[in-house]
Copies of this chain bind each other. A is one copy, B any other.
Amino acid sequence: MNTERLHRQIEFILEIDKLKSILRRSYLINDPRLENSAEHSWHLAVMAMLLAEHANTEVNLLQVLKMLLVHDVVEIDAGDTFCYDVAGNDTKAAREILAARRLFGLLPDDQRQEMHGLWEEFEARQTPEARFAAALDRLMPLLHNYHTQGRSWREHGVTQMQVLERNAHMDEGSETLWAYIEAMIEEASAKGYLAEESKNE
C-alpha cells in the first residue's frame, strides 16, 4: 500500500468536514435553521438519482453525481455566494479559483486533477451532465423557498423577476423541471411570497 497516498486522501476527507459549517440562505422545510452546503450536496445527489429521467438529453448519472458531490467544496474557503447577491457574484469566480487550488491540492495529483475537472465542468455548464446538475442546484432552493412561504425571498426582498432571470437556465438542463418551477413561481407570487417590482427600476 502507498501510505503517503492514503494519508493525502484522508487529509482531504478531514478537511472537507468544514463544508458542514458553511451556511446557505435556504431554510429547511421542517426545522427553522439555515441549510449547510454539505447536506445540500447530498440532497442534490439523491435528486439526480430520481429525476435523471427528466433531463433534456440522456445523462451519465455517475458523472452528474460526482459533480454534485464536489461542486460546493470550494465554499470552504470562498464562502457561499447568494445567487441574488450581485456584488458577491462579481468576485465569486476569483475567490473560488484560489479555493479550488488549495483544497483539491491536498489530494494526490491524479485525484486533484479529477476533482478540479469536475468542478470546472459543473461551473462551465457546457455538457448535458453539467446542465442537468445545475438545474437541480437551482431547483432545490426554489422548493425550499416555496415550502417555507418564501422565507428567504422575503428576508432579502427578492422579486419574481429576479427569480425568473436567475433560474431560467434550468431549461437548458431540464425543460420539464423548469416548466414545473415556472408554475410554482407564479403561485408563489400570487401568494405574496415574492416582493413587488420597484417602479423606479
Are B29 and A14 interface neighbours, CB within 8 A?
yes
Tell me, in angstroms, the Cα distance from A1 to B70 when the chains sit together: 31
Nearest B residue to A177 by beta-carbon distance? B6
Nearest B residue to A16 by beta-carbon distance? B46
Partner of A147, one of B9, B14, B51: B14
Which residues on the B side are within 8 Å of A62 (C-beta)? Answer: 61-62, 65
Partner of A43, one of B17, B47, B147: B17
Nearest B residue to A51 by beta-carbon distance? B9
Least Cβ–Cβ distance between A125 and chain B, in angstroms: 21
Are A20 and B35 interface neighbours, CB within 8 A?
yes
A71-110 to B contact mask, C-beta < 8 Å, 1/0: 0000000000000000000000000000000000001000
Least Cβ–Cβ distance between A145 and chain B, in angstroms: 12
Which residues on the B side are within 8 Å of A13 (C-beta)? Answer: 43, 46-47, 50, 140, 143
A residues apposed to B, CB below 8 Å: 1, 6, 9-10, 12-14, 16-21, 28-31, 35-36, 38-39, 41-43, 45-47, 49-51, 54, 61-62, 65-66, 69-70, 107, 111, 140, 143-144, 147, 176, 179-180
Given contacts A13-B43, A18-B30, 11 further A-B contacts (CB under 8 A): A6-B54, A12-B50, A18-B31, A20-B39, A20-B43, A38-B39, A39-B42, A41-B42, A42-B45, A62-B65, A65-B65
